[in-house]
Structure 1
Amino acid sequence: MNAGSGVAETDPVVRDIEIVNQRGLHARASARFVQVAGGFDAVISVERDGISVGGTSIMGLMMLAASPGCVIRVSASGPEAEPAVEALAVLVANRFGEEV
């Protein structure tokens, strides 16, 4: 039994996030996603239409072809899973920092 917060490390944090930027999850947006995801002690995956890829793979994220209006499911597990998912949700909501 692990001492700690009482939350099992295997319980992932999951959030559905709508892509709201003008160009979707293209190369630059994917690179920003990977940069943010890589800053956390968490294993992150992203799923769309039954296809799941690693959250730190630019090519994997681009292969999801998530266009504006698509919903992706972000899952994370590990010590920083919750802040990782929150940061990624904020990144997507802020259109990956792109101009409107």
Structure 2
Amino acid sequence: KLRVTDELVTQTQIKVAQLDRLLENQTAQVERLQNEHDGFEIKVTELTDQCNQLNEQKEDALRQRQEAENDLREAQQLLNQLKQQEREAHAQSMRAAGEQRTALAQ
């Protein structure tokens, strides 16, 4: 009976040692996975910040493009007005020259 008890104690100690090693391995694996998880969270935060910055840059670029398009439209309108004024001034000049020739001819 003592021998059976000794065998049971030995088997139990072996089993406890195996379970201790298993627990150590699982603890190490959990720690490794936790560190990996923490690294991923940091990376997600960095990428989110980068994405937000890029979205802000995109919005700024879109605003600048809209302003440039507005400036271009205004410049084209001004150019058209100036061309019209130039045509009108040229027409007036031609009329005045014609009137002057007519007056000199008389």
What TM-score do the two structures reach when normalised by structure 2?
Answer: 0.22
- The higher radius of gyration belongs to 2
Q: Flag the structure with higher helix content.
A: 2
TM-score of the pair, normalised by structure 1? 0.23
Question: 1 or 2 for the larger relative contact order (CA 8 Å, sep ≥6)?
Answer: 1
